[in-house]
Structure 1
Amino acid sequence: MQLQHQRHGKDGSCQSLDACGVCGGDNSSCSGCTNPAADNYDETALFDDGSCIISGCTNPAADNYDPAANNDDGSCIISGCTNPAADNYDPAATNDDGSCIISGCTNPIADNYDPAANNDDGSCIISGCTNPNAENYNPEANNDDGSCVATGCTYPGADNYDAVNTAEDGSCIFSGCTDATAENYVPYANNDDGSCVFEPCSGGACPFDSNGDGEIGSADLLDFLVAFGQACEDL
C-alpha cells in the first residue's frame, strides 16, 4: 500500500490524508478482512488486506468441499467403504456409505460360510454325498465326503454288480447251471441260464434210453409214444 507523505498547509493543517482519514497514513488503520463469511471478518474495515480466514473443507474429493475455504478445519466428509476387509475399501473415506463389497461364501449351509460376505464369489464348499444313485444324495453338495450310502449288489462276480454300492441288499444275480446233477453245476448260481451239461448215458444203464444209443432223445420219445397204452406182454 503506497504511503502518503504528510503535508501541512501554512495554517498547519494536514494536506495529505489517507482513505482512513489519517494524515500521511497508508490506509492500514482501516484495512482488514471485509468478507462477512470469514472467521476474522472486521466490519469496520474499509479495505480488504487479504487476511481473511475461511474455515471449512479444502479437499476437492470430499462431499462437503468448500472452494472458498482456505483453512481446513477437519470437517471434510468423504463417503465410501471404511471396512479394511472389503474389496473396495477406501482408506480416505470417513463416512461409510454402505457400499462395501465383501466377497466370500454367502450360503449358510456351506462349510466355509462367511456371515460378513455380501457378494458370493462361488467359493462355497458343501460337503455331502454327490452320487445321484445314493440313498442320501445331496444335490447341493459339491464336495464328496465319502458318506454315500448305496444299497445293491456288492459282489464283483455277480451279473448286476455295481462298484458304487456300499451296502449289500441280497439282490445279486449269479447266472449259471442250477441243476446239481449237471457236470457244470454252479453251487452259488441263483439264475439258471440253460447252460447245464449232463453226461450222456452209456449202454442200457440209462433208464428211458429205449434205442440204447446212450442218449435220451426224440427217438426214445417216439418209441414211448408207440408203446404208450399197450400191455407189456404185447411189446
Structure 2
Amino acid sequence: DADPFGDDLAIIPVATPAHPRGAFFYRLPGEDNRVELSLTGVLGDHPPTDPEGFLAYARSLPVPDIHRAIRDAEPIDDAVMFKYPASVRRHYERLSRFPGGFLVMGDAVCSFNPVYGQGMTVAALEALALREGLRRGALPNPRQFFTEVAAVVDAPWDFAAGADLGYRGVEGHRTPKIRLANAYVNRLHHAATHDAELTAAFIRAAGLIDAPEALMRPGTVLRVLRHSLRRPAGAPAAAPAPARSGELSR
C-alpha cells in the first residue's frame, strides 16, 4: 500500500473510553522503510503477540491506516508484551523525617502509565531540580527537595491519572474537575483528528513542553467547540473495539 504517513512522522490513534485500544506507529529514521508499532490496551485487554492476533488487534483500531500499512509488511522481530499494573504516586514531601544523604527520584516517586509518555521527561525534570539543589553548595534538604519534586509531578500526574479515571473499570475517586476535564479532552481528541493545530497543542501538553492549561486557551477551546458542533454530543468517533471474552475487565 501507499505510504500511510505522508509528511507526518507518526500515526497515534489515542485510546479513549469509547474505544480503549490505541497505538503508536512511527516511521524510523533512515531510508530502509522501517516502522515501529506499539499496540495498547487497558483493563486486561492485551494485544496478542502472535502474528495473526497482532494483525487482528491492529485491524480493530479506530483508524484503518495502521493495519493497511502492516498487513503485508515483513516483521523484523517478534512482538513482545509488557504489562503495567497501575499508576502510583508516593508523597515523600509529606513525611516529617527522612534519612540524611538519601533521596528518591523517578519511578520511585511517581510511576506513570507509559502510554502517556511522561515518565522519562518527569524524571529529567526531577534531575534538574536536584542539579539546582547541588548548585546551592550543600547537600539538598530532603523535605525541600521532595517539595520541589512534588511541584514537578503535580501537573503530569493530574493529566495521566485523570485520563485513566475516564475508564469505567479503573478504581478511584472522580471529582467534578476530573469528569469535566475528561469530557473536554475526549472532544479535543476527536477534533484533533481533523485539525493539525489541535494535534500539535495536545502533543505539546502531553509531552510537557507546554503546561496543560495551554489546552484551555480561548483559541484552542473555540476550535474544539467548532468541531464538536459537527458531531453529536457523546457520539464516539468510531465503533467500540470488540472485547475478547474473559479478558476485558468491566
- TM > 0.5 fold call: no
More strand by share: 1
- Greater RCO structure (CA 8 Å; 6+ sep): 2
TM-score range, shorter chain: under 0.3
Greater Rg by CA? 1
More helix by share: 2
Give the TM-score taking structure 1 as reference length.
0.16
